[in-house]
Structure 1
């Protein structure tokens, strides 16, 4: 889904290529429920909602500007399967099970969010986290390596787009993004 389809503000947005990889790692095919923690502009939730219209999506965001652009884009796309909730993680996270959880922002509560995710994912549920700061990614990797999550996978995506500059062209880089995915094993 192209980025220019979204109505944009200054709220940062997960870009198309990173969004595509993150959605693929969430494994949303034939899933029932999806939680987006720190949804930002909501681009991950909205693309998931449009690709999987039967999917029940809960998006949690605390930033008033992000809430406003979420609401604008939900109306813009005519989406009816996102429950946009105002709140902070982990205290305002819903007490229900999800097939997949995406973390776009942690507000400094990363270990608590990972613990919540393990407790609230269904068996074989997927957790996907995106980071631009190495320190946050390293904290998540260390915590996940010592958790009961399985199939830990860490990649860095560096996207550059063709851009005109005067008479020439160059590849204008976007922020590299670290994408971490892990699976909840079957409960015994």
Structure 2
């Protein structure tokens, strides 16, 4: 194929060349160099091309690959290279005319074919190079997921996480080397899993069961889910705040005065494409925010130690900003002068002084000013009465 790009990304399964399409076989036949992990290279028969192991760390291989530009090169990847694979990472360094991809059967397709699950309703997660806690938002009885894992130790760690979160009754279908001669499928519940000889590559078909607490889909999740020192936007107020921030796919939040990180964490739980940065000057709270984010499956939360507005300089621009503590005239002035047009700003105030700042800001810049008073029923002697929280004034505006 004289008009073929110089690079072909070939999806290779555990059955090696037997599962390759004619186009993939032709690409290997004409290649001068074939790059890939040692496991993939070992699956190939003798070919005329030079075999080059992709180095570790992965990023080092990109520079080596780019030096081969113009020569016929094949890069081997697992199954479908663009489904939690290396394909997208490689492609972003190239021009469209430089490459083509010839995917194979994905491990997800192979796994559900073995388990008899409908792929269109089964969650797919790639955790072979990511924290296992990312599964936490999806842990609810009845959930099915195919989870890609790094190795056998990760299978055991996933089982431990399920037990620790109250989902030890979940079933793990451990799928090894699917599609090849070493294929093996074994099942166990998380609480008693004792497989000590799990080999790579491995994925787990997960059927969630147990009495653990599932994370609600709506904001205002229980305060008990967040470790805190009292500095936390309480659940009902948090729900109103997230409604005012109005997250949309792909957007970024600045959470100024993070406290427990609850607002930024709930922002991230709204959609996997969202990003957030929380800013707090207190090192103990910084550590607490990190623990909360990790335990609730949003380790992608960026945390900055410092005082606003100085700590905001140089951060990626936000689509929405929340001020949960320490609002000041200087901060509002800086935000008004430096935020991109169209940024949504939400600020909550409890003290009379900060309330006055927001009232003045609303008069000058417009937006909505809302006074929120909440009370909760609590014992009062032998009966019950209402215990009022401090009223909160919320200013929301599009700059």
- TM-score normalised according to structure 2 size: 0.42
Name which of 218, 224, 227 aligns with 1:4.
224
User: Matched residue of 2:272: which SS?
Assistant: coil
1:80 maps to 2:284: no
Which position in structure 2 is the counterpart of 1:174?
389
Which position in structure 2 is the counterpart of 1:18?
237
Contact residue 226 and residue 260 of structure 2 kept, 8 A:
no
Change over 3 Å in CA distance of 1:164–1:11 after alignment to 2 = closer
Give the structure with the higher percent strand: 1
Greater RCO between the two (CA within 8 Å, min separation 6)?
Answer: 1
Q: For 1:30 and 1:145, locate their aligned partners in 2 and report how far apart those are by CA, in whole Å.
A: 31
Q: 5 Å matches for 1:94-113? A: 94-95=313-314, 96-106=316-326, 110-113=328-331
Name which of 93, 107, 116 aligns with 2:312.
93
Shift of 1:17: 1.1
The alignment covers a number of residue pairs equal to 178
Shift of 1:112: 2.6
Superposed CA offset, 1:49-99 (max 9, x none): 112321110100002232122122112212123101100011111433211
Which position in structure 2 is the counterpart of 1:124?
342
User: Matched residue of 1:182: which SS?
Assistant: strand
| Gap regions ≥5 residues in structure 2 | 1-220
Q: For 1:59 and 1:137, locate their aligned partners in 2 and report how far apart those are by CA, in whole Å.
A: 22
Cα RMSD, aligned residues only? 1.9
Which position in structure 1 is the counterpart of 2:67?
none
Shift of 1:120: 4.2
Q: For 1:31 and 1:116, locate their aligned partners in 2 and report how far apart those are by CA, in whole Å.
A: 25
Which position in structure 2 is the counterpart of 1:139?
357
1:154 maps to 2:369: yes
Change over 3 Å in CA distance of 1:144–1:155 after alignment to 2 = closer
| Gap regions ≥5 residues in structure 1 | none
| Structure 1 stretches of 4+ moved >6 Å | none
Q: Which moved more, 1:10-19 or 1:160-169?
A: 160-169
Whose Rg is larger? 2
- TM-score normalised according to structure 1 size: 0.85
User: Matched residue of 1:25: which SS?
Assistant: helix
Q: For 1:139 and 1:123, locate their aligned partners in 2 and report how far apart those are by CA, in whole Å.
A: 21
Which position in structure 1 is the counterpart of 2:19?
none
Shift of 1:31: 4.8
Superposed CA offset, 1:130-160 (max 9, x none): 11102212123213433xx44x211111111
Which position in structure 1 is the counterpart of 2:286?
67
1:56 maps to 2:275: yes
Q: For 1:163 and 1:132, locate their aligned partners in 2 and report how far apart those are by CA, in whole Å.
A: 22
Contact residue 111 and residue 140 of structure 1 kept, 8 A:
no
Q: For 1:127 and 1:182, locate their aligned partners in 2 and report how far apart those are by CA, in whole Å.
A: 5
1:38 maps to 2:257: yes
Contact residue 101 and residue 121 of structure 1 kept, 8 A:
no
Shift of 1:22: 1.1
User: Matched residue of 1:48: which SS?
Assistant: helix
Shift of 1:16: 0.9
Change over 3 Å in CA distance of 1:119–1:31 after alignment to 2 = farther
